[in-house]
Structure 1
Amino acid sequence: MTAIATPLSAQRPSAAELFETTPTFRVVTAQDLPLTEWETEDLVRAAQDDDREAFGELVVRFEGMVQAVALRRLGNYAEAAELSQEVLIRAMDRLHQLSEPRAFGAWLKSITVRMAINRQVRRKRSVDTEPATLEATCIDERRSPVEAALTAERAEQVRDGLARLGDLDRTTLEAFYVRGQSLVEMSDSFSAPVGTIKRRLHVARKRLAAELGELFAV
C-alpha cells in the first residue's frame, strides 16, 4: 500500500479559519454590575445623565459623611439631619456643575460646610434680634446652663458607651460619625466591601444603643 503525502500547506488552517475559531471576549463595564459595586465616579457620571438610581446609591454612600460634617458644625442632631437633606437636594440640582466625578466626596463636603456656615450665620442673627433670648445669648448663645450641662452629660455618656464597645464597633462608629468618613472611604480604611461596612455600622449602632439604654429618650 502506497502512502500518499499531504502537503503541509493543506494541513494548516487558513487565516480566515483561525479568525473564525478564535474565541471572543466581551469587556465587562460598570453597567454589567449592580450599583453597589460601581465606582463613585461611574455613579456620578450616570447621575449626571439623570439616572436617579445612581444618585440614590451616592446618597447611601455619602449621607453619613454629610450628617457627620453638619453635626460637627451645628452641634444639634435635628438641625444636622435637616441640613443633610438640604445638602443632598442641592447636590442633585448642581451635580452637572461637577467637572471631575472622582472629586464628588470632597465637593459634597464643601457644600455641606458652606451651607452649615450659612445656617449658623442666620441662626446667630435670629438670636441676636430676639429680646426674649438676650439673657440666654449672653450665657451661651443658644442654650441655658441646664441645657448645656445636660448636653455635656449626654456627650460624656456617649463617650463612655463607646469605650465599652469592642474595638471594631468603636472604630467603625468613630470613623462614620466622628471623622465623617463615607462608606467608600471606610471600605478603603477597613479593607472591607461597602456591604460589610453597612452591616458593621448597623450592628455597632445597636450595641451602642444597648449600652446607652434610655439615655436619648429623656
Structure 2
Amino acid sequence: MSWTEITVLVEQAKTGDREAYGELVARFQSSVYAMALSRVRDPLEAQELAQDVFVHAMRKLPQLRDPRCFAGWLRRITARMAINRLTRRGPLFGADTEVLDAVEARTRTAEEQFAVGEAVDQLKEGLAELKPLDRQTLEAFYIRGRSLKQIAREFAVPTGTVKRRLHVARLRLKEVLEGIDPSLAERFATDGAELAAV
C-alpha cells in the first residue's frame, strides 16, 4: 500500500468511514504494537496499549490537519500513552508468588526457536549488505528505538531527511531480503517491525 493510498484512507476515515479506518489499523497494527512493546516491555500490556492507541486515534482523527502526517501522529500518540501507562503503573518490583504460579508458562518449541534465530540471522545478513548510512538509519529507528527527532539530531539532518532515508533504506533492505528469503521480505514489507527482534 502506497502513502498516497494511506492518505486517501485517512481522509475517508476522518469522515467516519469505519472500513477505511479498519484498513489503517491493519496497516499500522504491527508497528504500533512493536513500539508499545519496546516501551512497556510486556506483550499483553503492549497489546492492550496498541488497542487503546487505535481507539484514541479514531476519536481524535478529525483533529489531524495533514493526513500525510498520520504515521508520525500515531507514533506520538503511542509514545504519550505508553508514558502515561508507565507513570500510572509505577515501578514493578515483583509479583505475588500465587499470581506467578497461576500463570501458564509458554516457551518456544525447538522448531520455533530455530525459526526465530534463522530469521534474525537473515535480517542481520541483510543489514550487513546495506550501505552504512542505510544500516545505521534502520538500526537507530527499529533496533535502538530512536525517534525521528533523535535520529535527526544524531545525524545532524532535518527530520524530513530521516523519513526519506528510512523509506529508502527499508526498500533497499526489502530487495536484499528477497534474495535471501522472500517470505521474510514480505513480513518485513508490511511495516518493518521484524527488525525489532534483531
TM-score by length of 2: 0.53
Q: C-alpha displacement at 1:75, in angstroms?
A: 0.8
- Determine the C-alpha separation between the residues in 1 that align with 2:184 and 2:54: 20
Residues 187 and 66 of structure 1, relative CA distance in 2, 3 Å threshold? same
User: What SS is found at the alignment partner of 2:52?
Assistant: helix
Cα offset, 1:178, TM superposition: 3.9
The reply to whether residue 79 of structure 1 matches residue 45 of structure 2 is: yes
How far apart are the structure 2 equivalents of 1:88 and 1:45? 16
Q: 1:169 to 1:82 in 2, by over 3 A?
A: farther
| Residue 186 (structure 2) pairs with residue 200 (structure 1) | yes
Corresponding residue of 2:54? 88
1:39 deviates by: 2.5
Contact 1:68 1:179 in 2 (8 A): no
Report deviation, 1:197.
Answer: 8.9
1:40 aligns with 2:21: no
The structure with more radius of gyration: 1
Q: CA deviation at 1:86?
A: 0.6
1:99 to 50, 54, 65: 65
Pick aligned residue for 1:65 from 20, 25, 31: 31
Q: Is the 8 A contact 1:43 1:55 kept in 2?
A: yes
Structure-2 change in CA distance of 1:92 and 1:163 (3 Å): closer
The runs of 5 or more residues in structure 2 that have no matched partner are 101-106, 108-113, 131-138, 146-163, 175-181
Aligned length: 139
Do structure 1's residue 120 and structure 2's residue 86 form an aligned pair?
yes
When residues 49 and 86 of structure 1 are mapped into structure 2, their CA distance, relative to the original with a 3 A threshold, is: same
2:36/2:46 contact within 8 Å kept? yes
Q: Kindly state the Cα deviation for residue 60 of structure 1 after the two structures are TM-superposed.
A: 1.8
Measured against aligned partners, the alpha-carbon deviations of 1:67-114 in whole angstroms (never above 9, x if no partner) come to: 111111111111111110110011011100101111111110000001
In 2, Cα distance between equivalents of 1:76 and 1:158: 22
**Amino acid paired to 1:190:** L
Q: For the aligned residues, what is the CA RMSD?
A: 4.4
Q: Distance in 2 between matches of 1:162 and 1:107?
A: 30
Instruction: Tell me the SS of whatever aligns to 2:16.
Output: coil
Partner of 2:171: 190
Q: Is the 8 A contact 2:9 2:21 kept in 1?
A: yes
SS across alignment from 2:84: helix
CA contact (8 A) 1:63 1:84 kept: yes
Q: Which amino acid aligns with 2:12?
A: A
Identity of aligned residues (%): 38
What is the CA–CA distance in structure 2 between the aligned matches of 1:71 and 1:158, rounded to whole Å? 21
Normalised by the length of structure 1, the TM-score is: 0.49
